[in-house]
Amino acid sequence: MFFVRRLRAYHSYSTVSGVKIGDTVYATVPKVFSISFMEKDMPEFKGKSRFLWKVYPKDDDNEIFSKENVWYFVELCKFAAQLETLDLTDGKNRWLYMLTHVADISEDEVRGMAPVYQRFYEECRISNLNEMEKKEYVTSVLEYDDVRESMMCEREVGREEGREEGREERTRQLALKMLAKDFAPDLVAEITGLTEEEVCALVSHTD
């Protein structure tokens, strides 16, 4: 009922909280941007098809008074109604699609997206894991780091000693251990320096 008033209060608090008591150097006052996802259409925008609104403080001549305090509103019902006709190559449309449909997006679909969206998808996936799954994920990341550091050390030893044959065998054994732990072949190739063809050959020998 009083959403806009509540939002103004939050917005003001965010501005004031960035200023220390007694501070007269107002150059440090933070810019504040808020984004509100509206489940229901807002009465203020009734009858208008636009679903993304950017609201600034304005003066009596309807000129923007400040660009350092901005309210963004996304009317989800309108967005959903127009989704099939939207250009999802447009940056803002793509982000709104990711934010509202991340739970429905498949990994295959994500692979075709830009790295920034892949990272967003991965962060959302991790945040949705239960405690046990998060521990397993962290463990796998730590194992990845340990393997990479070990590989770097072994490469250095191999260069210093000049034993190319021994280095290749250690690399092969390391790759086999990683494959046994279900590391993806392309990741094994990236860490060990082997080509993907060489890794795939190891896979076929272990089958």
Q: What does the angle CA 157 – CA 163 – CA 164 come to, to the nearest 5 degrees?
A: 100
pTM: 0.52
Cα angle at 174 between 168 and 177, to 5 degrees? 145
Per-residue pLDDT of the chain (207 residues), as tens digits, is: 578 888 888 888 888 877 777 666 677 788 888 888 888 888 888 888 889 989 888 889 999 998 888 888 889 899 989 988 989 888 888 888 888 888 888 888 888 888 888 888 887 777 665 666 555 555 555 555 555 555 566 555 555 555 566 677 777 887 787 777 667 787 778 777 788 888 888 877 655
Strands 32-38 vs 52-55: parallel, antiparallel or unpaired: unpaired
Provide the sign of the torsion angle of the four alpha carbons 199, 204, 206, 207, taken in this order: positive
CB contact at 8 A, 179 and 206? yes
